[in-house]
Amino acid sequence: MNTLLALLKKETMEFNRTYKLLILFAVFLILAILSPLAAKFMPDIMAQFLPKEIAECFPTPSALDSWAQFFKNFSQIGLFVIALLFAGMIIHERNEGTLIILLTKGLHRSSVVLAKSLFAMLIWTIMYWISFSVTYFYTWYYWRDEHVPFLAVAVSHLWLFGLLLIAVILFGNVLFKSIYANLLWTALFVGIWFIVSIFPKTDNFNLLKLATNGDQILQGLYSVHDYKWIYMMAIGFILFIQFITIQIFNKKSIN
């Protein structure tokens, strides 16, 4: 436990030293604030540049629009930033040679993987739920009388997909020596599920639904029951990827 805490402290100091924590906080805060603001004021802004007949057809902004914008921002930009910041967690230390120093002092390789995975998932969790709280406040401020059903389910789905993506990114850190190769691997993983989504029969097993169907859940088009297999697959994938990441890293040359 002391070793794990020491590694988490080391990761935190490194994240602060390279300003990654500040960058992540700033980007997520901007996305969280922009979500309700864009939903509230974008129709009025667009009305200034469009014919009156078209502008009058715009629907009245609602809390659902704010959350739809939230899911759009974080499933695209938010997760992309996460991939960029964590794509070199292990790769960077392997290339710099600092990881060898830690391992020669008796540190277990599995401890390195577990600490970095836990750190990345904690950072994602903290930043994501802070962002959710900011969006929730502004959405409540502008649409106080509107109740958004199934909100907790929808936001939890995107959070779970973020954990899965981090597991995939850490696996790429072990497989490759290049950050670009890891980013390509992560994009390939997401792309595969995009291809899977083309086939209707895979709808109940498509992990990408965790990141893309948030607004549809709010509209009542899907229920928790529709995701039971996806939940099990996502959790199973996370645990399995963590396991094989440790196994491969234990046998992989650090140089």
In tens, the pLDDT along 187-214 reads: 999 999 999 988 888 888 899 999 999 9
Predicted local confidence at residue 241, as pLDDT: 96
pLDDT digits (tens, 9 = 90+) for 27-44: 999 999 999 998 887 766
User: Could you give the percent of the chain with pLDDT greater than 70?
Assistant: 92
Indicate if the pLDDT at residue 77 is higher than 60.
yes
Alpha carbon distance 173, 109 (integer Å): 13
Predicted local confidence at residue 215, as pLDDT: 86
- Confidence label for 71 from pLDDT (cuts 50, 70 and 90): very high
Q: How many CA atoms lie within 13 A of 165 on its CB side?
A: 32
Predicted local confidence at residue 47, as pLDDT: 57
pLDDT digits (tens, 9 = 90+) for 100-130: 877 777 778 888 899 999 999 999 999 999 9
Question: What pTM, to 2 d.p., does this model score?
Answer: 0.92
